[in-house]
Structure 1
Amino acid sequence: MPDAVLRLPQRVELTYTLGTERPLGAVHHPLFALIDALHRHGSIQSAAGALGMSYRHVWGELRRWEAQLGRSLVVWNKGQPAALTPFGEKLLWAERRAQARLAPQIEALRMELERALADAFDDRIDVLSICASHDHSLPLLRELALAEQLHLDLQFAGSLEALRALDAGRAQLAGFHVLDGAARGSVSARAYRARLKPGRHKLIGYAQRVQGLMVAPGNPHEVRSLHDMVRRELRWVGRAESTGTQVLLNELLEQAGLASPPRFALLEPSHVAAAQAVASGAADGAFGLQAAAFASGLDFIALARERYFLVTLKSTLEQRAIKRLVALLGSPAWARTLDALPGYQATEPGAVLALTKVLPWWTYRGAR
């Protein structure tokens, strides 16, 4: 006979309140305040007095919780002071033990929430939401921005999804990347042209990056080019079709005359994850960033240089937060940060660029 599965009758949901007084505990729940007071004071009357409540309210709440839990919390002997049942005692001590164990983490969470909310009242601090294709340098940019009292709310997504988030109003900036010098009829043009509108979107220069093949140290399978990606004996890591890296790879495969795409043994959500799959032996190779390959101790075969851009709506360029970010991108501190990353180069960082100048995929009629 299989073991019985114990199921809690209640689910725990965490909420928090705003106020000027210090909290009663790390996490406060009214039920445990009731049974703790009853345990300490030995009667409903005394417990009610300690809590500043009426006898009737405390009695009614205890009865309500008993009905909700389906278990007795209180020994209700007529003519005798109420006391906790063995289950009530066990429940109280279980909650106290959990509070003791979790108190440091909960206090850290509370303090982080207080700091974050305090920032909302500080007029010197600006917040920018960015949905961007995965990039090694963006967390470093967030650190630099914090020092300038500019908070970057950063979320990673594929390049195409990032552009959708911008147009849907879920982000103020999107980050995407494209092969440097991509032609009008290229895979990149076909992927991005419909999602970028001259007159509506503006590019902000960010960086150049190098992408290529990441392989195990010593290149044991003698990988040299994209043609090795169709070798059946090799296991390759792929990326989702909505990612800029997969768009770039598709373009390079087309340029190389490889009509059949490689068969991927697994898909990973980021350059770091792809590199780790190769480093762990789960795959023989992956297409990704030079910086990710070097960080994981892999060999790297460079194949393409690409531009990474931030894009925003033309109507938001004059916002103070955008202007502050543009200034930070144009600073020597940001140039030094990029120079320290393998395969990165500062290229027009912080410059506001017109789509039709940098990505000449539109005719004048289409631009209008």
Structure 2
Amino acid sequence: MIPDLDLSVRWQLATEPPYDMGQLVQILMAIEKVGNLAAAAKICRLSYRHAWGMIRDGEKHLKTTLVQTVRGQGSVLTELAQQIVVLYRRHEQLLHPHVQGVAQQLNAQLQELYAQQRHILRLHASHGFAVEGLMRWQSDHPSGFRMALQYRTGGEALALLQKKECDVAGFQLPTGKYQDAMLRLYQDYLQSEPLLFVLLACRRVGLFVQPHNPLQIQGMADLVRPEVRVVNRQPGSGTRYLMRWLLEDAGVDADLVLNYGATEFTHMAVAAHVASGMADVGFGIETAARRCGLEFISLEQERYFFAFYQDMVNSAIIQSFLSVLRSPDYKHYMQQLAGYESEHMGTIYTLEQLLQQDLSVSL
């Protein structure tokens, strides 16, 4: 297993030579927190002299004052410095999921090359925190079973499984009335060759709104109100399809909502967009809302499955994958996820059994 690439976003002024603002913003955030340059320097593990020099250098590049010393109050950020800190935090929330996604794609491609020498399970899956937990398990067990994850929409993952370009495909199915509609989207991929499906979890899906729900959003019908700004998922994602069906059932022209506003590629990016104040409402799984301090309005449940070819069920790589899903460490992780229920996790179904089972639970 080769080490993963670690990508990050750098704030840099386009000067000659370029000026890196990263450490400057860190010392500004520390001053905002403690109100004292000496204490802020200690937090950033810098000498007082070095920290003061960084501030002066930043002021020189930005051509403005960033920190003022007020008698009896210590060090205080100017209004511009405060806004720089706000922008840095906001864009860090928004960009982190995208950078993580790019890193995962690059790492998956590198692991594909490495897999030519040592077989690694190729996992293509719709985004979810339970899937994210598999990568955490892998980090905690560096000498154990290896997986190369690449996030896709559920349909894309199943299409790549059909082409034998991945070993396992992760996708979601709504429970109840919307299950058949989603299956019609997947049917070409599910019926080509015999597949087996292992249940990962049931999870709650609904609306993300600001704390205390200031716009008093109650359901999908509120999303067409002119003052409500909506952030959407990308076209082709299972979450977007479910959002469309819920809007239509609420008597709303779904295109008036889905074809406007920002678009994000993961549940966490949607939640971060709302938490930053750039949107009033998003749609996704509960865990993302809770992690960003948002309120959550539950509307539906989904089941999340992993699909693989039936003739692979006894292979060493699939058996290792199933062992991870059923391991105590992974079960413990799943029990901590808000909005997830893992009671039947690791159970294997044929397509016929999957369609007959009612696995919705009281979450």
Whether TM-score is above 0.5 comes out as: yes
Shift of the 217–177 alpha-carbon distance from structure 1 to 2, 3 Å rule, reads same
CA RMSD of aligned residues (A): 2.7
Correspondence for 2:8: none
In the aligned structure 2, how far is the partner of 1:199 from the partner of 1:355? Answer: 11
Letter in 1 for 2:310: K
CA contact (8 A) 1:239 1:267 kept: yes
In the aligned structure 1, how far is the partner of 2:115 from the partner of 2:162? Answer: 25
CA contact (8 A) 1:130 1:173 kept: yes
1:77-102 CA distance string (max 9 Å, x none): xxxxxxxxxxxxxxxxxxxxxxxxxx
Letter in 2 for 1:129: R
Correspondence for 1:158: 153
Correspondence for 2:289: 293
Counterpart secondary structure, 1:211: strand
Letter in 2 for 1:273: A
CA contact (8 A) 1:205 1:347 kept: no
Percent of pairs with identical residues = 31
User: Gaps (5+ residues) in structure 2?
Assistant: 1-106, 358-363
In the aligned structure 2, how far is the partner of 1:121 from the partner of 1:174? Answer: 20
Letter in 1 for 2:153: G
Shift of the 121–166 alpha-carbon distance from structure 1 to 2, 3 Å rule, reads closer
Shift of the 352–192 alpha-carbon distance from structure 1 to 2, 3 Å rule, reads same
In the aligned structure 2, how far is the partner of 1:254 from the partner of 1:188? Answer: 15
Does residue 227 of structure 2 align to residue 194 of structure 1?
no
Letter in 1 for 2:163: A
**1:198 positional shift:** 7.4
CA contact (8 A) 1:145 1:152 kept: yes
Shift of the 274–196 alpha-carbon distance from structure 1 to 2, 3 Å rule, reads same
In the aligned structure 1, how far is the partner of 2:281 from the partner of 2:209? Answer: 5
Match of 2:213 among 213, 219, 228: 219
Counterpart secondary structure, 2:123: strand
Counterpart secondary structure, 1:359: helix
In the aligned structure 2, how far is the partner of 1:306 from the partner of 1:183? Answer: 10
Correspondence for 1:171: 166
Letter in 2 for 1:291: T
CA contact (8 A) 2:248 2:254 kept: no
Counterpart secondary structure, 1:165: helix
Match of 1:235 among 229, 235, 258: 229
CA contact (8 A) 2:178 2:242 kept: no
User: Gaps (5+ residues) in structure 1?
Assistant: 1-111, 362-368
**1:259 positional shift:** 4.5
**1:206 positional shift:** 0.5
**1:120 positional shift:** 6.5
Correspondence for 2:265: 269
Q: 1:35-50 maps to which residues of 2 (within 5 A)?
A: none
Correspondence for 2:49: none
In the aligned structure 2, how far is the partner of 1:191 from the partner of 1:164? Answer: 11
1:289-333 CA distance string (max 9 Å, x none): 111011111111111111000111112222101101112212332
Match of 2:124 among 131, 134, 152: 131
Letter in 2 for 1:311: A
Correspondence for 2:307: 311
Q: 1:336-347 maps to which residues of 2 (within 5 A)?
A: 336-347=332-343
Shift of the 238–141 alpha-carbon distance from structure 1 to 2, 3 Å rule, reads same
Q: Which has the larger radius of gyration?
A: 1
Q: 1:195-210 maps to which residues of 2 (within 5 A)?
A: 195-197=189-191, 200-210=194-204
Q: 1:73-84 maps to which residues of 2 (within 5 A)?
A: none
Letter in 2 for 1:167: Q
CA contact (8 A) 1:182 1:189 kept: no
Correspondence for 2:36: none
In the aligned structure 2, how far is the partner of 1:161 from the partner of 1:299? Answer: 31
**1:183 positional shift:** 5.7
CA contact (8 A) 2:201 2:305 kept: yes
